[in-house]
Amino acid sequence: MSPMRVQWVAFQTIVTKEVRRFMRIWQQTLLPPAITMTLYFIIFGNLIGSRIGEMGGVDYMAYIVPGLIMMSVITNAYGNVSSSFFSNKFQRSIEEMMVAPVYPVTILLGFVAGGVARGVATGVIVTLLSLYFTDLQVHHVGVMVGVVLLSAILFSLGGFINAVFATKFDDIAIVPTFIITPLTYLGGVFYSISLLPDFWQDVSKLNPILYMVNTFRYGVLGVTDIDVYVAFGMLVLFIFILGSYSIWLLRRGTGMRQ
């Protein structure tokens, strides 16, 4: 078997294992985000939204839907890779991959693809649920698909790095709890940063999730607070940085070789 064929088989195996993993326990991986986002739609969209009226020139419910979809995508992509890779470390099965004739980039791509699959699956479920509450008119399909995939890849890489340095299961919950969740709520999911004073608008622009949410909102509604091209450029740059760092960690065996 040729080396490239070996890498392809290894990649398929890892991806298949990752997808079967989160599909097998769908009650824990796919159902909770759907329930949580439904509560957001009811509380923020219907109850509070009826008093607010509109945001950015569109109905408030329609305004928050893109942000809630992106929230589910990035949190689930991150969570899938961080928990899965750490489980492999904990069970010492990652060591078998390290000694097998599998390139580090193949291992990384396999886990990232699994994270993207779960993130996209959750995003699709939340999108279908949102149709019960509002009518979505797609403004630019290419922008929507592009930002979802790039965001899922970026946060899958982030989850991988978190898992590499985690030493116990509690460690993989630190970043989502203290970093991702606050950044998500401050990322323009429920409001337009144009409502903020100039100083806080500038501070908000340091939040990468703001660019993801607004770019996806542009793809759905044609409304955005930031430059879409800048957002795509930042996503590609961060993916390159985190991807290169992740491959370097794999080659060194950081946190994997005991």
What's the pLDDT score for residue 1?
67
Distance CA 256, CA 106 (A): 16
Give mean pLDDT, residues 73-102.
86
Task: Name every residue whose Cβ is closer than 8 Å to that of residue 81 and which is 6 or more positions away in sequence.
Answer: 111, 112, 114, 115, 156, 157, 159, 160, 163
Pick 158 or 1 by higher pLDDT. Answer: 158
Which uninterrupted H or E stretch holds 228?
A: helix 228-252
pTM above 0.85, yes or no: yes
What's the pLDDT score for residue 258?
53
Q: What is the mean pLDDT of the chain?
A: 87
Out of 53-57, 107-111, 177-181, 196-200, the most confident range is 107-111
Give mean pLDDT, residues 93-120.
89
